[in-house]
Amino acid sequence: MNYTKLLFSLVFTLVAFSVFGQGGRQRQPTPPRPVVQPQQQTPPPVQQRPRQGQGEKVPVDLQQADSLIGGTFNGQRIDKLIGNVIFKQKDGTLYADSVYQYKEKNVLEAFGNVRINQADTVNITGNTATYNGDTRTAKIIGNVVMRDPSMTLTTPSLDYDLNTRTATYTEGGVIVQPGNRLESRRGAYNTQTKMLDFQQDVKVKTADYDIKAQNMKYNTLTKVVYFQGPTFIEGQQGDLYAEQGTYNTITKVSNFGRNAYILTDEYRLGGDKLYYDESTGYGFAEKNVSLRALKDDVTIRGAIGRYWRDRGEAKVYGNALMETVMEGDTLFLSADTLYSQEPRGARTASMIYAYPDVKIFKSDLQGKADSLSYNRTDSIMHLNVNPVLWSEESQMVGDTIHIQLRNQTIDRMYMYSNAFISSEDTLQNYNQVKGRDMTAFFVGGDIRRVNVNGNGESLYFALEGDTVLTGMNKAICSDMTLMFAENKLKRISFLVQPDASFVPPHELEEGARQLEGFTWMSDIRPTKEQVLAKQPVPKAGTTVKPAVKAPALKTTTKAGGRKKAGRGKKNRQ
């Protein structure tokens, strides 16, 4: 055996730490040789370096090499080691086909089949590497692959800090795990915390989702994704968007913040706080909640929202407000709770329910009721429990009121049981018609005709111009027709022989100016400000007490003898 090679191996074996890996590798072409002055090819004595952690430095120790050529280049000592080279420092081991060792700088330059191993858990390979023994940092270049028990990272170049056990790349990297693939332009990976920090053009692909973001963190053990900035998640069951939050790729549970939303074929549910469980299809939103039904362009807003994907149900409560465009005008509908249900089969309808304290505002239509249901399949709206509607100067009342829509405009209105329609003229007289049931017909959103069916009674004040009362027509007729123009009552037609009379002004008594049950309720007619107004919202998790049923209508007398509507001591607002 060559004496120089034997002596070289013995000297470095005596001062070495334990080797973590096997260094045998196939010999690669030797890199260009530096210009050195001739030296004796016997390795110099090993210089002990101060150890780290005690004010000393831990040396980078040579464990193995097939040959060594020493020399001085530009005034600095260089040792060139060739063939199956192994260096070790603390828990880190460097393997390469050849290495230049700069002892004064404590730097290694490694070439060919470079591999860095730390604590038998982190393994990095590449074409070349530069290792600084003082800082215990390495820069690996060319076809870099980093592996630990939880992932595999590939990148053109990588910086690795053996002290913090953190890898950093800036030229694009791809991380692969079972079932997940992650990539970004820049990134960092801490092999102790198993946390990946992605920056710029981040993409994550799982079996269920494709995620795109600019800033994101990912834990390779828990499989949880952390978002900081606009993030899109596209899935088979729907899409998600958020600007802050987390997504668990195992449980498929999302917790999002800032402008988050869930997007499905039926709905877009959003809020500043959003929870969504993909496995169960349940979503929960808080703060600035909006629920949009995409098929008919209906938007519901409120304080809290819930969504059940598999049941096709969504609920918004706490200052719930529905908006939809009808005949070029926005209809606003408010209630404590708005509930939407998609059809579950061919024989079921798509429904929206509102309760309690329903208020409606549109520029030419206002209304109030305790509850409302809207059949979106048949375009029929049902107002229940003390419903009242106003259109221009007309007021319509019934035990229940149904509104038939066509092409997003009111086509017909049905008032069932104790139906009452009235209007105020320029002299503050109230024209009144009541009956068992009524059907109102609209053209272009304006009321044109009302059919009274059963137990019909009417009072109609005749005016000369708009300033002089000439008398009052009173009639009792089971069926009659009311004709309107410009939303004002113009004519009443009696379909059977009426019991009618005309009362001149001087014979009119105050009690004869209204039909039994008449109540003028303009003081509870909703304004746009009232419909849009926000009320205090109970905290999430608290139970909302059911609304107390409104007291029965009663009549109160105002100055001048006219009668105004009241509902007990407090009017419902």
Residue whose C-alpha is closest to residue 454's, from 417, 502, 509: 417
Rounded to whole angstroms, the Cα distance separating 103 from 96 reads 18
Domains 59-171 and 176-309 share a fold: yes
Q: What residues does 188 pair with on adjacent strands?
A: 168, 197
Determine phi and psi for 24, rounding to 5 degrees: -65, 120
What pLDDT was estimated at residue 221? 87
Q: Place 228 in a pLDDT band, splitting at 50, 70 and 90.
A: confident
Domain 176-309 has CATH 3.30.420.40: no
Residue ranges per structural domain of the chain: 59-171, 176-309
pLDDT attached to residue 536: 62
Supply the CATH classification number for the domain 59-171: 2.60.450.10
Neighbours of 37 (CB within 10 A): 8
Q: Is the pTM of this model over 0.85?
A: no
* Mean pLDDT for all residues in the chain: 81
Q: Is pLDDT above 70 for 202?
A: yes
On the question of pLDDT at 1 being above 70, the answer is no
Q: Which long-range contacts (CB under 8 A, 24 or more apart) does 281-286 make?
A: 281/237, 281/307, 281/308, 281/309, 281/310, 282/306, 282/307, 282/308, 282/309, 283/307, 283/308, 283/309, 285/260, 286/540
Among 219, 248, 246, residue whose Cα is nearest residue 231: 246
DSSP secondary structure of 475-519: EE-SEEEEEEETTEEEEEEESS--EEEEE-GGG--GGGGS-TT--
Distance, CA of 275 to CA of 308 (rounded, Å): 12
pLDDT digits (tens, 9 = 90+) for 67-96: 999 888 777 889 999 999 999 999 999 999
Cβ atoms of 97 and 83 within 8 Å: the answer is: yes
Least confident of 189-198, 239-248, 443-452, 534-543: 534-543
- Residues 478 and 513: beta-carbon distance below 8 Å: no
- Closest residue by Cα to residue 147 from 180, 108, 118: 118
User: What's the pLDDT tens digit per position in 329-348?
Assistant: 888 999 999 998 888 777 78
Single-letter residue type at 375: N
Nearest to 166, CA basis, from 146, 143, 144: 146
Q: Phi first, then psi: give them for residue 524, nearest 5 degrees.
A: -110, 10
